């Protein structure tokens, strides 16, 4: 190992403004900042990236720490035959490779490795991998325990918490269900933290044999706390209808754990995406839809103006583009969260959101009502936290909002009268999205807000679209159907708030 006086932990500035469930996405353009004053502020790196420790224990890594592994992007879409020898000659060792996208992963104890490896003729870049925060659990988890389920799943009108979910009706999902569209047979991968695999509303739809973890030392069905971000997201896509109903309540769910406690290495996400997109016949999950309610916002005005790290982010973007292009070519549609920073990404180019601005993805902004239980039905109003801008938002969907309490200052209580149960909570709580959570049992449910909650609503609608078209569609066809069926809100046509519009499940499957 190489030890230096340089601290391994870097004080980086990550934007995370959302209070409840934060998940962002967006990608860096090859030259995202253009020729503005920030370019002139970029200096040579304060950190010597040649001197990184080899890491074998990933259990206690913190945001900003390097993993001790290097991501090698080659100039071609396939790995050169001599890459292993070339890396060894530079003082490194390849420990993993992704030949389908021309990427290798190496470790090295040599202080000259980075310099030498970057001189390999077939290599485009060599980038140290590091831990980023991609999701954030609610500061306050309002959990409810559902009854032990009886009978067959999916009869949405008999779901125990019928009347608690405003989001499905806001996008006309019940109309699709009533006409037989439930996402049956469509495989949706949830790349996130852990999914509570024994949850009564998720277990009926989970392909446990295909679910994996790309986080070293962690099983796919585990996370920290009692919320479990991936569990809430999975329920929005395909909760089976015992107590809550997903947008595609008969879709097949595949858990891909690439984060732990909301953070992870880029390699873990890269690995998860490739596995999810690869056909089952080739050893992958065979997903037709990938949901990524995750993201990291990079602010180039602060420590990220450091040249070495700025370059690292740009190179990681290129790798991400290769992965998303690989998935696209295999016919996989990728849905990501647009981010919760309240930033117009067209006007604030110093902010980069990964992976919402990447190639071949659909990035989702968030809406929600302000005072649903006070009689409001403004489900399509933009959420106060959602990112915007044509460069970062492709379409909008219900993600919930606590704006009634946080922005308007209304902290009064309301009584929600569901079909089978009534409940008193702060009125703003009911404006969030209600879904499955880890809790303390196999039947726990709770509220959250965020573009993380909006993205899986779109993933669910995509599953309905695919089912209505025989079970398989190219991503371009999916995008055309999804966008053309959306309700055109805001400025006419594609705009910075709603993108193509607000999703409409019924119209997307040829109804309405």
Domains of the chain with bracketed CATH: 150-508 (3.40.50.200)
Residues 6+ apart with CB under 8 A from 344: 387, 388, 389, 496
Torsion 187-190-191-196 (CA) sign: negative
Range scoring the smallest mean pLDDT among 42-46, 74-78, 131-135, 369-373: 42-46
């405003």: which residue's tokens?
166
For the cut 90, the answer to whether the pLDDT of residue 472 exceeds it is: no
pLDDT of residue 365: 97
For the cut 90, the answer to whether the pLDDT of residue 173 exceeds it is: yes
Nearest to 256 by CA among 323, 324, 190: 190
pTM summary value: 0.89
Range scoring the smallest mean pLDDT among 30-39, 40-49, 312-321, 405-414: 30-39
- Mean pLDDT on 56-69: 74
| More confident site: 431 or 308 | 431
Instruction: Work out the mean pLDDT of the chain and round it to a whole number.
Output: 86
- Residue 59 pLDDT grade (very low, low, confident, very high; cuts 50, 70, 90): low
Please answer whether residues 182 and 464 qualify as being in contact, where contact means their C-beta atoms are separated by less than 8 angstroms: yes
- Residue 12 pLDDT grade (very low, low, confident, very high; cuts 50, 70, 90): very low
pLDDT of residue 58: 67
Instruction: Note if the bond before 492 is cis, omega within 30 degrees.
Output: no
pLDDT of residue 30: 26
| Beta-strand pair 187-192/252-257 | parallel
| More confident site: 137 or 118 | 118
Range scoring the smallest mean pLDDT among 11-20, 177-186, 299-308: 11-20
pLDDT of residue 52: 59
Strands across the sheet containing 444-448: 143-145, 444-448, 433-437
pLDDT of residue 213: 98
Nearest to 478 by CA among 272, 234, 289: 289
pLDDT of residue 476: 97
pLDDT of residue 140: 56
Residue 161: DSSP 8-state = T
For the cut 70, the answer to whether the pLDDT of residue 282 exceeds it is: yes
- Mean pLDDT on 306-312: 79
Instruction: Give the Å distances, CA to CA, from 4 to 50, 52, 70, 183.
Output: 11, 9, 18, 54
pLDDT of residue 31: 27
Please answer whether residues 240 and 283 qualify as being in contact, where contact means their C-beta atoms are separated by less than 8 angstroms: no
For the cut 80, the answer to whether the pLDDT of residue 342 exceeds it is: yes
pLDDT of residue 309: 75
Percent of the chain surpassing pLDDT 90: 73
pLDDT of residue 24: 33
Residues 6+ apart with CB under 8 A from 510: 468
- Mean pLDDT on 254-267: 94
CA distance 189 to 416: 33
pLDDT of residue 29: 24
pLDDT of residue 512: 72
Neighbours of 469 (CB within 10 A): 14
CA distance 160 to 386: 31
Torsion 345-351-354-358 (CA) sign: positive
Range scoring the smallest mean pLDDT among 230-239, 308-317, 468-477: 308-317
Q: What's 336-356 look like in SS3?
A: EECCCCCCECCCCCCEEEECC
For the cut 70, the answer to whether the pLDDT of residue 184 exceeds it is: yes
pLDDT of residue 60: 67
């Amino acid at each position: 190992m190489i030890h230096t006086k340089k601290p391994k932990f870097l004080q980086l500035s990550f934007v995370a403004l959302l209070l409840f469930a934060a998940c962002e996405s967006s990608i860096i353009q090859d030259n995202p900042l253009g020729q503005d004053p920030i370019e002139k502020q970029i200096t040579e790196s304060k950190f010597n990236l040649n001197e990184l420790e080899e890491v074998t224990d990933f259990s206690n890594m913190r945001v900003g720490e390097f993993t001790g592994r290097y991501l090698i992007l080659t100039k071609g879409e396939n790995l050169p035959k001599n890459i292993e020898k070339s890396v060894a000659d530079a003082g490194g060792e390849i420990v993993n490779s992704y030949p389908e996208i021309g990427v290798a992963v190496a470790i090295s104890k040599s202080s000259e490795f980075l310099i030498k490896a970057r001189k390999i003729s077939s290599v485009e870049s060599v980038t140290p991998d590091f831990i980023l925060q991609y999701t954030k659990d609610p500061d306050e988890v309002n959990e409810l325990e559902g009854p032990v389920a009886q009978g067959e799943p999916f009869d949405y009108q008999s779901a125990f918490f019928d009347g608690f979910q405003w989001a499905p009706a806001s996008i006309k999902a019940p109309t699709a269900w009533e006409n037989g569209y439930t996402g049956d047979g469509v495989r949706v991968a949830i790349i996130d933290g852990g999914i509570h695999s024994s949850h009564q509303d998720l277990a009926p739809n989970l392909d446990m044999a295909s679910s994996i973890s790309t986080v070293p030392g962690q099983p796919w069905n585990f996370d920290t706390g009692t919320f479990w971000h991936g569990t809430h997201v999975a329920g929005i896509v395909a909760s089976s209808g015992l107590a809550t109903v997903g947008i595609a309540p008969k879709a097949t769910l595949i858990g891909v754990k690439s984060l732990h406690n909301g953070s992870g290495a880029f390699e873990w996400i890269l690995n998860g995406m490739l596995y999810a997109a690869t056909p089952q016949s080739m050893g992958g999950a065979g997903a037709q839809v990938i949901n990524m309610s995750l993201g990291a916002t990079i602010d180039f005005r602060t420590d990220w103006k450091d040249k070495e790290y700025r370059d690292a982010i740009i190179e990681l973007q290129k790798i991400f583009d290769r992965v998303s292009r690989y998935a696209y070519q295999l016919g996989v549609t990728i849905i990501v969260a647009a981010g919760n920073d309240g930033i117009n990404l067209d006007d604030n180019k110093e902010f980069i959101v990964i992976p919402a601005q990447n190639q071949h993805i659909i990035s989702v902004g968030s809406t929600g009502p302000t005072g649903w239980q006070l009689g409001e039905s403004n489900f399509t109003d933009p959420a106060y936290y959602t990112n915007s801008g044509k460069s970062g938002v492709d379409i909008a969907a219900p993600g919930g909002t606590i704006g009634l309490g946080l922005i308007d200052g209304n902290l009064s209580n309301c009584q929600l009268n569901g079909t089978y149960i009534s409940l008193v909570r702060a009125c703003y709580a009911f404006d969030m999205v209600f879904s499955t959570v880890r809790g303390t049992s196999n039947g726990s449910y709770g509220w959250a807000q965020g573009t993380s909650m909006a993205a899986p609503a779109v993933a669910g609608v995509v599953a309905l679209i695919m089912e209505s078209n025989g079970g398989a569609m190219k991503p371009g066809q999916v995008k055309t159907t999804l966008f053309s069926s959306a309700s055109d809100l805001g400025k006419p046509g594609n705009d910075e708030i709603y993108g193509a519009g607000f999703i409409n499940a019924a119209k997307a499957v040829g109804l309405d």
